Amino acid sequence: MTDALFADDAYLTQCTAVVTEAGPEGVVLDRTVFYPLGGGQPGDRGVLEWGDTQLRIVDTRRRRPDGAILHLPDEQVPLPPADTEVTARIDWDLRYRHMRMHTCLHLLGAVLKYPVTGGNISADRSRLDFDLPDAPDKDAITAELNALIRAGHPVGSRWIDEEDLDPALIRTMSVKPPSGVGRIRLLEIPGVDLQPCGGTHVRRTDEIGSATVVKVEKKGRRNRRVHVVLD
């Protein structure tokens, strides 16, 4: 298992690490600041550096079933051999955009208190799908969403034992928290949101900036897709 430093501090932009594997699947480090694709959030991009060499990383994925984090290079180039010490550095501008977006979607879920059937996060436009029969008003949602953002609510996380997870906290219908791992990470915005989430988030809601609900789509008899952009 790779030590996932981002799980405890999403603001780390780089770290030193040791290569444990390097091959066609990608590069595995003993620890990393790179977030792997999951929970609707894209994998991080960035670079690995050692000596005078810089290797561009275009995606990050988690390998199953062992949970190792794979850093995927942009092309078939010489990889750092095992036991090499490298500096792992993420594309911070992209990551921070994802952090703002991810936190914004938690607030969107707090405004629309319906089961979540799907979602996707990107740097420019994100969405959540809700089990909701009628289309909500875009302007009303935007106003409530920005009121929560401007309030500057603190955003934190904490770990609990898997057996202590209250099933009522699980809002996503299509994706469930991992089982058999022993611990579950909760995202907490006091008085606003509390749910299992392994993604990266900002420390305060006012870091998100202004958000706009730009579109609400009907994706089924009881499914509405809500699209959000950030200024």
Cα gap 221→224, rounded to integer Å? 9
pTM score over 0.85: yes
The angle subtended at Cα 230 by Cα 41 and Cα 192, nearest 5°, is 70
- Domains of the chain by range and CATH? 13-90 (2.40.30.130), 95-230 (3.30.980.10)
Are 49 and 87 contacting, i.e. CB atoms less than 8 angstroms apart? yes
**pLDDT at 179 (0 to 100):** 55
Other CB atoms within 10 Å distance of the CB of residue 173: 13
Cα gap 171→130, rounded to integer Å? 10
Q: Which parts of the chain sit beneath pLDDT 50?
A: none
Helix residue spans in 11-119 (DSSP H): 92-111
